[in-house]
Amino acid sequence: MEQMTIKTTPIEGQKPGTSGLRKPTRTFMSAHYLENYVQAIFNGIGGVAGKTLVLGGDGRFFNDRAIQVILRMAAANGVAHMIVGQGGILSTPAASNLIIQHKTDGGLILSASHNPGGIDADFGLKYNVPAGGPAPEDVTAEIFAQTTTLSEYKILEAQDVDLSTLGSSDLAGMRIEIVDPVHDWADLMETLFDFDAIRALFAGGFTFRFDAMHAVTGPYAEDVFVNRLGAPQGTVLNGTPSPDFGGGHPDPNPIWAKPLVDLVMGPDAPDFAAASDGDGDRNMILGKGLYVTPSDSLALLAANAHLAPAYKDGLAGVARSMPTSRAVDRVATAKGLDCYETPTGWKFFGNLLDAGRITICGEESAGTSSDHVREKDGLWAILLWLNILAVRKKPVLDLVRAHWAEFGRNFYARYDYEGIEAESANTLFSGLRDALPGLVGGELGGRIVETADEFSYHDPVDGSVSSAQGIRLTLSGGGRIVFRLSGTGTVGATLRVYLEEATDDPAAVDWDQTEVLAPLAALADDVAGIARITGRTAPDVIA
């Protein structure tokens, strides 16, 4: 073994977004690209000599090779102890749990979440802090600054480490501990939920299907749903992780998980169905004949969380990202809970969780979780749903309709326009910004524009300010339109348009969401000039 210092030069574009750095896989595989970014992380967090880190990923293409590089660089930079998921595998919530349980100095998670995998698809890497959550903006800013001045990186010349065998080994004085990627996380779930009640639910003939989408959660789901809870074999669909996610798109929404949606809408529908994404941090909830939007799911979980043992004493508070529908706000008002509105990005929930201000939080992009870890956790949300169903003993549709009847209904959808040219996206947003002052008090489609602003978040814990977090319009009668450019893509820009209508009318439980939101969609197109500027006449995805 030989420790080497490799001369390098800065590589443009290594600026981490809301969930680390995501780029095409071939970009990460190019000369010095991964090494530069890893060294920038090490430098940006004040060095790693003597530290303990967690390492793992979602198993997508290049995951195994990248982990070998990171281990050699960690040893060369003086890391004392690396905790690595067996086979290089860790779901994102499981990695967060290991960071917290072992009180490490953070961790490196290799994932592009719900983005496709493969040599011609996407790859990603992010650093999570010792609290278990994604690095906050001041840390990612320092990491990016390091990428712009980097002149060398340290790496060990050595043979590959055996990632397949549980136990400890040594690499140039660095202890490498290979751990079961599922066990600790699954044990934690048993402390949160009433597994006896869920076992009884399955024993009574309750039917459930979970689509792992050929992604990381297959082994987790088999262990928890089948081995620990007694769900029958065949409950887990597409449960074998694949480097390219079976050639599919591991995003749990009605477009990419259409076979599961078709199943619950068909004659042989199970009582309950769910899916998770590439790295296990997102979820989709379905019942017979029903897709439950992530916003409605968050609200219903907040309203019923007390039925699970971990939350029986109530919630400290709740939080949602700004674009997420205000359905959970209604629950918070009714239950006297604090409700926080944050920018998109799970890291913004971290301070609120660490300060004990909130217990449950979520985003419209199918991320939901609690204070048990510092990441969104798809299987946690599904288990809480199962716990609620086991106690309430009602079908999913009846639960959702009862929730709307009690708290009112928020009609909500997200329109994604993917791969827009950056120039067109910037033109569209510049036009919206310029128009904001003249919109307030005026009419759009016969409705008064009550507010029009660009969201800025003032963190109530540390006082930090995050500006330019999305443009939002609120209309008379409970309508809201939000425009935002997403940071999760790797090519071009993704324009996300969020549409929301709110009503307390009891008859709304039977209204058709598409019909309700159609006028708002037309208003959004008109005010932003989407078709005129981008040439897009319809979104690529409606979620």
Domains and CATH numbers, the chain: 2-181 (3.40.120.10), 185-407 (3.40.120.10), 409-542 (3.30.310.50)
Residue 299's pLDDT is: 98
Distance CA 137, CA 141 (A): 6
pLDDT at 488: 53
User: Measured between alpha carbons, how far apart are the two ends of the chain, in Å?
Assistant: 51
Are 526 and 520 contacting, i.e. CB atoms less than 8 angstroms apart? no
Query: Alpha-carbon distance 492 to 421, whole Å?
Result: 5
Cα 134 from chain centre:
11
Kindly state the tokens that stand for 36: 């530069």
Tokens of 149: 């001045």
CA nearest to 271, candidates 238, 235, 301, 295: 235
What is the predicted pLDDT for the residue at 491? 60
Q: Which strand (E) or helix (H) includes residue 93?
A: helix 92-101
Q: How far apart (Å, rounded) are the C-alpha atoms in residues 216 and 218?
A: 6
Q: Do residues 517 and 480 touch, judged by C-beta distance below 8 A?
A: no
In three-state secondary structure terms, 338 is: strand
* Cα angle 131-326-536, degrees, rounded to a multiple of 5: 95
Nearest CA-CA partner of 95 in 65, 134, 144, 42: 134
> Quick check: 454 and 468 in contact, CB under 8 A?
yes
Which residue has tokens 């009180």?
103
Name the 3-class secondary structure at 159.
coil
* Measured distance CA(342)–CA(137) in Å, rounded: 14
Q: Just list the catalytic residues.
A: 113
The whole model's pTM is what?
A: 0.94
Q: What phi, psi does 301 have (nearest 5°)?
A: -65, -40
Grouped pLDDT means (10 residues each) for the chain, 543 residues: 94 91 97 98 98 98 98 98 98 98 98 94 97 94 97 97 97 97 98 98 98 97 98 97 95 93 97 97 97 96 98 98 97 98 92 96 95 97 98 97 96 93 93 95 94 96 93 96 77 89 93 94 95 93 83
Q: Which token pair is 78?
A: 């003086």
473 backbone dihedrals φ, ψ, rounded to 5°: -125, 130
Q: Output the pLDDT for position 345.
A: 87
pLDDT, position 77? 98
Q: What is the pLDDT of residue 232?
A: 97
pLDDT at 490: 53
What's the confidence (pLDDT) of residue 533? 96
